[in-house]
Structure 1
């Protein structure tokens, strides 16, 4: 038994905040932001718009692309660091908003920017062992409510958004292999120490990051986990048709591609349009490349991410 992606979807809130907008409120510039991150603009959730609302829009598109009914979904995993509430889970809220009443499992997964990779691997295992037949895996975030808008080192980097995929049991490989890792000893390099209530964060709500340390760590572990996965599958970088990385920073993406011997023509990059959307960034990029026709049947797709915790991982997909 295998699992195969049969539909993708994504959603970005209507409000756009450009680098030029940020120039008016914080000590920064468009050129400074682009040079250091590759980001041009990011999307901001509307007042009262929750993570589950973004997830709902992306999920509907993925379900439509899959050509199935929502009631066929018997597993929902939402990867998020910005849930609607402490509980119930955003996945249960999403299940209700989709009108799914079949009693299938629904839960959240918190691995920050590595969340979608963790969630996709988990859904794949559920299907492989026969615990589910059709899974909805979502990465959704409203990170802008966790930003100090006076801190130019963080507020320019993050945005809101959601992406989703539908996985279905198949007799042919879709998700070929996955590798997940974590190391909590580095947790202080990237953190937000607060509590979420009704979509808002209290306590110390702001994302704090040691940018240089995160950059060095990310490039190393991302290349290591990809090489580990490829070696296990007896493949090389030349066998990969598309790398779909976590969209955090163009310099991290470029450095990782170089270490793997991949040209940027084989890398899906969408960070300029939405910034770092944490768990949502990979499914956002994946959906973009599927819908514009770059990703085609039979190709080898590699996704990888690293996030606070630290968590990191990679998944190899036969499209």
Structure 2
């Protein structure tokens, strides 16, 4: 079977920044220090009013191409992971193919997935290469979740930021992509959702309600039942990791670095302690970017690589909206 690698990686952050001080000015009961302690985030980037996920994906791809001359002409497939696409149709990936100047022989499609999106994207890219359909795949992740958040939703405002990433998946590179464990539990779909704007509920209602746990839910904005999502994560991540280690014929101590979806510092540190993962092997990069959904893991990979921490066996794991989860192992030089 052909070996498949991450060959290059880069990311883009919008210029506008929302700091904890700005949040505390709007919600006086929350100090900047309290927000930082609770979620491990001091600032997050916000897409501009007219800046879309596709705009950001374009900028991430151009950064990757600038650092890797001649790569653009080699791309023969484009994958875009986003829940913030420009239009109901056509696919934003098709628009990006033209905008980036990629070959018209390049395949392209969007896939709608959130926090596990990068792992799923790696799985699809690997399958396309192993099957002989493609050789050099541009995998893009891009989200503008901050556009979905209600101005009075202080909880989600402290967590989410906007970003885009670009990865080149190829038959050579710095990180060989290993086995996968993927999973889905659609019964939890309403625990992280935007209720209106799609075909099920196309018109905005302006309605809000309070659930039995005291959570405010705005029909037209992002809703997250934090407790339910936390419980889901605690239930699925440990067995997901165990399943991946079994597929790789490894034990936990064989893993050199762990990169989990950067949901918030409290959640992933809880998982680290629950699974008894060595703190020195557990990589966190969210303080200056926040939870960027499908972009958290590739951003962390890029930063770990810059810090010369990306060596040996690196376990990647994503989990969240869907509900969905995925993990893979990359073997780094």
Please report the TM-score for the alignment, with normalisation by the length of structure 1: 0.92
Choose the corresponding residue for 1:61, options 48, 60, 63: 63
Give me the whole-angstrom Cα distance separating, in 1, the residues matched to 2:277 and 2:238: 11
Q: Partner of 1:194: helix, strand, or coil?
A: coil
- Tell me, yes or no, if the aligned pair for 1:163 and 1:287 is still in contact at 8 Å: no
Q: Structure 1 residue 219: deviation in Å?
A: 2.5
* Correspondence for 1:207: 222
Q: Partner of 2:158: helix, strand, or coil?
A: coil
Q: Structure 1 residue 173: deviation in Å?
A: 8.0
Q: Partner of 2:126: helix, strand, or coil?
A: helix
Give me the whole-angstrom Cα distance separating, in 1, the residues matched to 2:241 and 2:303: 22
Give me the whole-angstrom Cα distance separating, in 2, the residues matched to 1:87 and 1:287: 31
* Correspondence for 2:210: none
Q: Partner of 1:153: helix, strand, or coil?
A: helix
Q: Partner of 2:154: helix, strand, or coil?
A: coil
The structure whose Rg is larger is 2
Q: Structure 1 residue 16: deviation in Å?
A: 0.9
Give me the whole-angstrom Cα distance separating, in 1, the residues matched to 2:265 and 2:181: 23
Q: Partner of 1:148: helix, strand, or coil?
A: coil
* Correspondence for 2:240: 225
CA deviation map 1:180-230 (0-9, x unaligned) = 10011111211112327xxxx956431111111211211221222111100
CA RMSD of aligned residues (A): 2.1
Q: Partner of 1:274: helix, strand, or coil?
A: coil
Choose the corresponding residue for 1:285, options 295, 300, 312: 300
- Tell me, yes or no, if the aligned pair for 2:179 and 2:247 is still in contact at 8 Å: no
CA deviation map 1:120-169 (0-9, x unaligned) = 11111111111110001111111110001201222221110011210112
Query: Unaligned 5+ residue runs, structure 1?
Result: none
Of the structure 1 ranges 7-16 and 212-221, higher mean CA displacement relative to structure 2 is found in 212-221
Give me the whole-angstrom Cα distance separating, in 2, the residues matched to 1:240 and 1:265: 12
CA deviation map 1:211-264 (0-9, x unaligned) = 112112112212221111001211122111111111111122112222333222
Distance 1:263 1:223, change over 3 A: same
- For residues 295-310 of structure 1, what are the structure 2 equivalents within 5 Å? 295-296=310-311, 299-310=312-323
Give me the whole-angstrom Cα distance separating, in 2, the residues matched to 1:287 and 1:65: 13
* Correspondence for 2:51: 49
Give me the whole-angstrom Cα distance separating, in 2, the residues matched to 1:172 and 1:20: 39
CA deviation map 1:249-302 (0-9, x unaligned) = 112211222233322221221111111111111111111111232214xx1111
Give me the whole-angstrom Cα distance separating, in 1, the residues matched to 2:45 and 2:71: 29
* Correspondence for 2:16: 15
Give me the whole-angstrom Cα distance separating, in 2, the residues matched to 1:54 and 1:110: 16
* Correspondence for 1:150: 152
* Correspondence for 1:182: 184
Matched, 1:270 2:271: no
Q: Partner of 2:83: helix, strand, or coil?
A: coil
Give me the whole-angstrom Cα distance separating, in 2, the residues matched to 1:202 and 1:51: 21
- For residues 246-265 of structure 1, what are the structure 2 equivalents within 5 Å? 246-265=261-280
- Tell me, yes or no, if the aligned pair for 2:6 and 2:167 is still in contact at 8 Å: yes
**Total equivalences in the alignment:** 314
Give me the whole-angstrom Cα distance separating, in 2, the residues matched to 1:63 and 1:224: 38
Distance 1:66 1:222, change over 3 A: farther
Q: Partner of 1:256: helix, strand, or coil?
A: helix
Of the structure 1 ranges 308-317 and 102-111, higher mean CA displacement relative to structure 2 is found in 102-111
Q: Structure 1 residue 64: deviation in Å?
A: 4.0
- Tell me, yes or no, if the aligned pair for 2:5 and 2:173 is still in contact at 8 Å: no
Q: Partner of 2:243: helix, strand, or coil?
A: helix
Query: Unaligned 5+ residue runs, structure 2?
Result: 206-218
* Correspondence for 2:329: 316
The ranges of structure 1 where at least 4 consecutive aligned residues each deviate by more than 6 angstroms after the TM superposition are: none
